[in-house]
């Protein structure tokens, strides 16, 4: 089965073609970062309009790269949520319109399930069951993954997610949006011994996350340095280093705890923050000591992309799932509401 995947949940337009027998055939991505950076964050109306502008040319590009005609596409999968409702509606309406024109089935899939299974696009893929750390945008979650669609939420952010905390810390340091990559680059120049920021909620049991206190501590530190007149370039790098290490250590501690409690030895790390190299280094070192292993998507599949949507759509379409006549655009959609396809239900 050849499935066209469409991702338009936020500020990236992602298109991909996945073949159930031959794997990923082609993919393309357009990022709107340059458009949103002057606003310091995503402007929903601008995002929706740009998806309208980019979608069909990207679909043509992917079909050309795959060497396929539209009539050779067997089904379409699109992101139905969670995300910005306007952006979701652009992808959903395009998917349903093309499915009607091409006379093929269409299916809306869960954006976070896409991230969750993005490492399945790699040659070395994890086997079920495993624990997954999802760190994407406004989501920071630990999930026990038993099979496709069979997920148990172990812990989640109770306030700011890790990605949101990176963006807010970047603004405090006068760095552009999105914050994660800019914090990481600045932190490379930082002194790891100058500041030590708190590792929130690691001194108590449980697997939930909270980064609002770390955000406040960062702001308080910066304000104090400004009032002293000592917030020079090197000090900004030192603060970035302390912040990044605090986030990485917090995520590592919680992941290690989740593996210990579940008895599992495989960890999937996915979402935009999973591209952070300090986090990967800390996780790999911690898991090696436990006899466990981490799996990551390649760099371009850490952020939103069409390939992960095409992959998840393929698995569920093969199991017989289909949309009805109504397109789906669900801005709030808990991962816990998903169910396994019929052929893997218990």
74-87 exposure pattern, b = at least 16 Cβ within 10 A, e = fewer: bbbbbbbbbbbebb
- Give, rounded to a whole angstrom, the gap between the first and last alpha carbons of the chain: 25
Which runs of consecutive H residues, i.e. helices, occur in the chain?
33-36, 44-66, 85-102, 111-116, 162-172, 179-187, 212-228, 233-262, 277-290, 306-318
pLDDT value at 120 more than 80 = yes
- Domains for the chain: give ranges and CATH numbers: 2-117+301-337 (3.30.420.40), 128-296 (3.30.420.40)
CA distance 111 to 163: 16
Only one residue has tokens 């569920």, namely 316
pLDDT in tens, 89-113: 999 999 999 999 999 999 999 999 9
Alpha carbons 5 and 13: distance in angstroms, whole number? 11
Residues making up the annotated binding site for substrate are 134-138, 167, 180, 276
Binding residues: 111, 115, 134-138, 167, 180, 276, 304
Q: Which residues are annotated binding-site positions for Fe cation? A: 111, 115, 304
The band of 343, judged by pLDDT with boundaries at 50, 70 and 90, is low
CA pair distance 178, 40, nearest whole angstrom: 8
Q: Does the global pTM surpass 0.85?
A: yes
CA 204-210-215 angle, to 5 degrees, is: 125
| Helix, strand counts (H, E) of the chain | 10, 10
Each residue's pLDDT tens digit, 14-40 = 999 999 999 999 999 999 999 998 888
């Amino acid at each position: 089965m050849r499935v066209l995947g469409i991702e338009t949940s936020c500020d990236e337009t992602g298109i991909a073609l996945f073949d159930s027998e031959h794997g990923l055939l082609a993919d393309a991505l357009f990022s709107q970062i340059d458009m949103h950076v002057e606003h310091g964050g995503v402007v929903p109306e601008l995002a929706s309009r740009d998806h309208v502008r980019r979608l069909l040319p990207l679909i043509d590009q992917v079909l050309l790269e795959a060497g396929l005609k539209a009539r050779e596409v067997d089904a379409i999968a699109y992101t139905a949520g969670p995300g910005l409702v306007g952006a979701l509606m652009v992808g959903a309406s395009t998917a349903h319109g093309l499915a009607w024109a091409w006379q093929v089935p269409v299916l809306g899939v869960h954006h976070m399930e896409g991230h969750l299974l993005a490492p399945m696009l790699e040659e070395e893929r994890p086997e079920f069951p495993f624990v997954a750390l999802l760190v994407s945008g406004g989501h920071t979650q630990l999930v026990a993954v038993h099979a496709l669609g069979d997920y148990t939420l172990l812990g989640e952010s109770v306030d700011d997610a890790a990605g949101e905390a990176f963006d807010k810390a970047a603004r405090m340091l006068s760095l552009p949006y999105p914050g994660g990559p800019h914090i990481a680059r600045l932190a490379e120049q930082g002194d790891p011994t100058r500041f030590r920021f708190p590792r929130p909620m690691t001194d108590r049991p449980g697997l939930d996350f909270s980064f609002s206190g770390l955000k406040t501590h960062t702001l308080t530190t910066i304000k104090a340095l400004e009032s002293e007149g000592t917030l020079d370039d090197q000090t900004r790098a030192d603060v970035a280093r302390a912040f990044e290490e605090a986030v990485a250590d917090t995520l590592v501690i919680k992941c290690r705890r989740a593996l210990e409690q579940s008895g599992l030895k495989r960890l999937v790390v996915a979402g935009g923050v999973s591209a952070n190299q300090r986090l990967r280094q800390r996780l790999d070192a911690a898991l090696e000591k436990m006899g466990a292993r981490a799996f990551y998507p390649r760099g371009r599949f850490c952020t939103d992309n069409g390939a992960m949507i095409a992959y998840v759509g393929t698995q569920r379409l093969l199991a017989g799932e289909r949309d009805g006549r109504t397109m789906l655009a669900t801005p709030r959609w808990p991962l816990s509401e998903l169910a396994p396809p019929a052929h893997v239900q218990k």
